[in-house]
Amino acid sequence: MNSGKTFLSLLVASLIGGVLTLGGYKIFFDNKQYQSFDAQQKSVLARYYVNDTSGVVVPQGLNFIYASNVVRPTVVHIKTTYPEQNNMRGFGNPYSQDPFFRFFFDEPGDGQRLPPRQSSGSGVIISADGYIVTNNHVIDGASKVEVVLDDKRKYEAKVVGRDPETDLALLKIEEKNLPFVKYGNSETVKVGEWVLACGNPFDLTSTITAGIVSAKGRNIDILRNKTNFAIESFIQTDAAVNPGNSGGALVNLKGELIGINTAIATPTGAYAGYSFAVPVALVKKVMDDLLNYGEVQRALLGVMIQDVTAELAKEKSINEIKGVYISGVNDGSAAKDAGLKDGDVILKIDDKEVNSVNRLQETVAQYRPGDKVKVIYSRNNEKKIATVTLKNKRGTYKIMKQASQQMIEDLGVQLEPVKKEEAEKLNIDGGLKVTALLDGPLKETGVKTGFIITKIDKFDVKTVKDITDALQSRNEASLIEGIYPDGKKGYYAIGW
């Protein structure tokens, strides 16, 4: 009898267990759908059902609506067009220099011209009269820059100036009474603070994403392989940023600009969790310089520096693991003049703590040559104060001239664009006419006024920027080609 009851109990338990298993599967698994994405798929459809949102309460300080409404009208879409490229044999064709490529594939596109290509990014309006900040890499090399506002109005933009060392550029469109973003204070931004990123990824106008500040003063070595004077001290966030967001706004919950979105950390080319923005303290200084001087006025201490690590502190008998260690002082530098020495540890610049190389470089970059800064440093574990007058790259206290103006002065020439009628008569696409010769390398070649420069080292010359771009990559000598008004061609080699 007892065995019969036991069997019945087991049977009932088994039935109940089966029902629970099937019900659990239905609840937790059967209603879920899985979507695989292939590399080419850009968008998928999704449906979400919410019966009633009236009971949803947003915690105080976490409402993104205000900041979104403030920043969205100030963020623009930037379309760039790049000139046609000659795909000819010989000079200028990278494939012609690669015997491995020629052996297997010959030279592609011989005698053809590659069509103009286009790209896009984002920008932020910073003044009512049409000044816009973006990344240098968004517009670098573009022959045409078009700006599309949040309300769909379109303008062709002028590049006022650019700074590869911070990857920033300043644009200008001709319009008035535009909405513009207000500058915030990146110095007071805290790790863990909520932030919003606004830009135009995938050509989607005014996309807002939210995240927190993950870190400050980040160096990701994305600029230093291009220039020795690069400044990398990024604000790191986990707000989603994708291709097309470059040059867009990073704002706080007040809608104030605290950074310009510049880069992402990714193994695939798509967003993978971290993004990086140039802090607004640096953005504001660079924009002011580009507007007022045409180029960034970079101030330098003139020291070789490294982070203070536990290993370095032990090796050098440094009591505190903080500050930036001076491993060398350049002769004639601002630091040398102020009495700083090898082995000193810089702790503060004008009462701002600098506990990393990146932070020190960002802080000094906010000043101009001739500015005086208070440097608090440690020597043999004893705190000291020095007043340092910062210098420029040339070792002087002067504000430097725009690079293009300086190069033209170095060349010893005054120029003006050739008129359309004269260009057509001479069967040339354009050029710059020599209107006056000053003391300099060009005059020494024997060139005469009236000469029209059409090429420098095989680079076409139509604007002053073309000359500066060509001369920036100059070697010990450059070949200048052109034509005189009577049709006689000229070739002049200048040494530097």
Active site residues per annotation: 137, 167, 246
How would you class 163 by CB atoms within 10 Å of its CB: exposed for 0-12, middle for 13-18, buried for 19 or more? buried
Under 8 Å CB-to-CB from 387, ≥6 apart: which residues? 338, 372, 373, 374, 375
How would you class 370 by CB atoms within 10 Å of its CB: exposed for 0-12, middle for 13-18, buried for 19 or more? middle
> Strand, helix or coil at 98?
coil
Angle at 240 (CA atoms; ends 235, 246), nearest 5 degrees? 65
Which helix (H) or strand (E) segment holds residue 179: the answer is none
Which pair of structure tokens corresponds to residue 282? 């640096």
DSSP string, 290-334: HHHHSS----B--EEEEE--HHHHHHHT-SSS-SEEEEEE-TT-H
Under 8 Å CB-to-CB from 43, ≥6 apart: which residues? none
Whether 122 contacts 200, CB under 8 Å: yes
CA-based Rg of the chain, rounded to a whole angstrom? 30
Whether 373 contacts 337, CB under 8 Å: no
What's the DSSP call for residue 97?
G
- How do 257-265 and 274-279 pair as beta strands? antiparallel
Question: Distance (Å, rounded) from C-alpha 103 to C-alpha 94?
Answer: 14
Which pair of structure tokens corresponds to residue 311? 């290993």
> Strand, helix or coil at 250?
strand
Question: Distance (Å, rounded) from C-alpha 312 to C-alpha 321?
Answer: 9
Q: How many residues does the chain have?
A: 496
Q: How many CA atoms lie less than 13 Å away from 320 in the CB half-sphere?
A: 14
Question: Distance (Å, rounded) from C-alpha 135 to C-alpha 363?
Answer: 20
Residue type for 138, please?
A: V
Angle at 431 (CA atoms; ends 434, 463), nearest 5 degrees? 95
Residue pointed to by tokens 């610049």: 349
